Amino acid sequence: MSQASRALKAYRNALRATSVAFKNDLPTLNAARNEIRTHMKSLEDPKGTNRSIDERLKLLEEVTVFLRRNIVQGRKVDEDKYRLNIHKDTELGDNDDIKKKKDSPSSGGFTGCCGGSGAKTS
């Protein structure tokens, strides 16, 4: 695939990913699309890191995957309730990594963020 067609494909996929991630949030959707558009139009790397075109396209592809899998909209429906827009591409973790860290001896007995105050338990 030529670099131009790869760039067009990456751009389209990124715009589609913003539609999924920010479906009912027009200001955020527009801001994300403007950011992508600005970076695509720029001939130079906007951050000044001198990345090649291929590296920049790879980064855009990674951002697209992140938007599709890891961004979930939440809408407040009650005082203490939110409705999440989980879609078919949303990455649903099983928390195994968190459970393993909690049980491992290297954790030092600290209970962490949701397990308490962070004070040593042993």
Does residue 11 contact residue 36 with C-beta atoms inside 8 Å?
A: yes
Over residues 92-103, the pLDDT tens digits come to 877 777 777 766
pLDDT value at 9 more than 90: yes
Domain ranges of the chain: 3-85, 94-122
The contacts of residue 114 (CB under 8 Å, 6+ apart) are: none
- Give the Cα separation of 12 and 45 in Å (integer): 19
pLDDT bin (cut points 50, 70, 90) of residue 48 is low
Mean pLDDT (the chain) is 81
Give strand ranges (E) for the chain: 73-78, 81-85
- Tokens standing for 84? 């999440």
Contact (CB, 8 A) for 26 and 36: no
Residues forming beta bridges with residue 88, ordered by sequence position = none
In this prediction, residue 109 carries a pLDDT of: 53
Q: SS3 for 88?
A: coil
| pLDDT at res. 45 | 61
> What are the tens digits of pLDDT across the range 18-38?
999 998 899 999 999 999 999
Note the pLDDT tens digit of each residue in 51-93.
788 888 999 999 999 999 998 888 899 999 998 888 888 888 7
Is pLDDT at 121 greater than 70 in this prediction?
no
